[in-house]
Homo-oligomer: A and B are copies of this chain.
Amino acid sequence: MRSASLSMALFLLISLLSFSLSSSSGEAGLRFPRYDGKERVLDIDAENWKRIVKESPMLCLLYHDSPGSGNTAQKQFHLTELTLEMVAQVLDGRGITFGLVDAKKDKKVAKKLGLKETGSMYIFKEDHLIEFDGELSAHVITEFLLDLMDDPVEFLTGEAELRAIYALDDVSRVIGYFKNVDSEHYKAFEDAARDFQPHIPFYATIDKATAKKLSMKLNDVQFHEPFTDHPVNMADKPHTEDEIVHFVKEHRRATLRKLRPEDMYETWEDDIDGIHIVAFAEEDDPDGYEFLSILKDVAQANTDNPDLSIIWIDPDDFPLMISFWEKTFGIDLFRPQIGVVNVTDVGLLGSFRKRTFHEGKKLDDLQWKHRVKTGWTLTA
């Protein structure tokens, strides 16, 4: 152990020393990658698609609208290409093939591959087809693909690791307790995990003491909804892969969801009759933090209402969208804001601003308490 550590330290030192020789800027170890100009992204067409699919252990295809011939459209498409080239460059050597599929020129290929929505990226990995329906930036795509290459299930042992699960309360999580990793029930759980990777993290424990702290019995599977303290247990264990997949799909849409760059379009389109309650709040801001804690109480109190969808947007996660939202909704995002977004139905649903909180009022004193929609009585 010790000698391994020592050689590791030596290695670190050597690589850094060689860095210091070539860098006088003091930024050794921190060189942000720059585009190297090499073309790695393939143009997929009727001629090459079969061979590329066959030869690629992991294939990542951006299905895009045909750019057209206008100058602006060409520039936009060029920027999209560069973004994908940058991703391909930083993930070089990890066995991923990248390609572009044009919705007009390669319509037939897209159909054969099962690509449906332009602007989405489709990842073919083993027997799974994963759709990326998020922000098309190099940062977000790269993180998504790296998460997809990680193990589908993380193991939990001990109290410190359990605290992590509770700290990570802004996403859905699934936890299972199994005898060991060779158990057929664990295998079913792991297979189910692959269907949701990287959107929903799956955790497993094979440690009795850890399971006890989670109040779990052998082969139990729990779903933890974001922002709520009480997990839902699956009935009638042990479970098959299909049963677990069905269970997760059923509970997936939480009362309160945080909009994430990696699946923002998917979350947004998953509305209730065209309606979301949308709350803008910066968690790093005292105003926003306070507002958010009230929102969490509301979600917790209304967790059993299947007709309610609240989306929390932290503007810090979407700096490029801020001006757009401010203009579209006529609001100031330096302050927390809440409103009801309805794209299909006509009817006044209510809205208020954070300012109200400064007057010491509680959420249930406000318009929230009135029935904004049949079945939507919100009290904190």
User: With contacts A4-B353, A5-B367, A34-B79 known, what are 9 further pairs, Cβ within 8 A?
Assistant: A5-B350, A5-B352, A12-B330, A26-B269, A33-B323, A142-B319, A142-B322, A158-B290, A164-B286
| Interface presence of A374 (CB below 8 A) | no
Q: Mark A146-190, 1 if CB is under 8 A from B, else 0.
A: 100011001111101111110110000000000000000000000
Give 21 A-B contacts (CB < 8 Å), ordered by A residue: A4-B353, A8-B331, A8-B353, A9-B348, A11-B329, A12-B329, A16-B328, A16-B342, A27-B265, A28-B343, A29-B278, A32-B135, A32-B136, A32-B320, A82-B82, A138-B320, A139-B139, A161-B289, A164-B285, A168-B284, A203-B286
- Inter-chain contact A290/B161, CB cutoff 8 Å: yes
When C-beta atoms are compared, the residue in chain B nearest to A70 turns out to be B37
| Interface presence of A349 (CB below 8 A) | yes
Q: How far is the CB of A12 from chain B (nearest CB, A)?
A: 5
Chain B residues whose CB sits within 8 angstroms of the CB of A16 once the complex forms: 328, 341-343
Q: How far is the CB of A5 from chain B (nearest CB, A)?
A: 5
Q: Mark A70-114, 1 if CB is under 8 A from B, else 0.
A: 011001100100100010001111100000000000000000000
- Inter-chain contact A75/B340, CB cutoff 8 Å: no
Interchain CB contact (< 8 A) of A12 among B9, B27, B151, B339: B339
Binding site for B on A (CB under 8 A): 1-2, 4-6, 8-13, 15-17, 19-20, 26-37, 71-72, 75-76, 79, 82, 86, 90-94, 135-139, 142-143, 146, 150-151, 154-158, 160-165, 167-168, 201, 203, 264-265, 268-269, 271, 274, 278, 283-290, 293, 316, 319-325, 328-331, 334, 339-344, 346, 348-353, 356, 358, 367
Chain B residues whose CB sits within 8 angstroms of the CB of A289 once the complex forms: 160-161, 163-164, 167-168
Complex CA gap A4/B178 in Å reads 56
How many copies altogether?
Answer: 2
Q: Given the known A-B contacts A156-B286, A289-B163, are A13 and B330 also in contact in the complex, defined by CB atoms under 8 Å?
A: no
Complex CA gap A330/B15 in Å reads 9
Most central of A285, A320, A331, A352 by chain B CB within 10 Å: A320
- Inter-chain contact B20/A322, CB cutoff 8 Å: no
Chain B residues whose CB sits within 8 angstroms of the CB of A346 once the complex forms: 13, 17
- Inter-chain contact B265/A30, CB cutoff 8 Å: yes
Complex CA gap A71/B39 in Å reads 13
When C-beta atoms are compared, the residue in chain B nearest to A93 turns out to be B323
Q: Given the known A-B contacts A9-B350, A367-B5, are A79 and B82 also in contact in the complex, defined by CB atoms under 8 Å?
A: yes
Chain B residues whose CB sits within 8 angstroms of the CB of A341 once the complex forms: 12, 16, 29
- Inter-chain contact A13/B348, CB cutoff 8 Å: yes
What 10 A-B pairs come out closest when comparing CB atoms?
Answer: A164-B289, A9-B351, A37-B72, A161-B286, A160-B290, A143-B319, A142-B319, A164-B286, A20-B343, A37-B75
Most central of A8, A142, A286, A342 by chain B CB within 10 Å: A286
Complex CA gap A342/B289 in Å reads 39
Q: Given the known A-B contacts A32-B135, A72-B36, are A367 and B2 also in contact in the complex, defined by CB atoms under 8 Å?
A: yes
Most central of A8, A203, A284, A334 by chain B CB within 10 Å: A8
Chain B residues whose CB sits within 8 angstroms of the CB of A265 once the complex forms: 27, 30
Interchain CB contact (< 8 A) of A146 among B4, B269, B322: B322
- Inter-chain contact B321/A33, CB cutoff 8 Å: yes
Chain B residues whose CB sits within 8 angstroms of the CB of A26 once the complex forms: 268-269, 271, 343
- Inter-chain contact A150/B32, CB cutoff 8 Å: no
Chain B residues whose CB sits within 8 angstroms of the CB of A82 once the complex forms: 79, 82
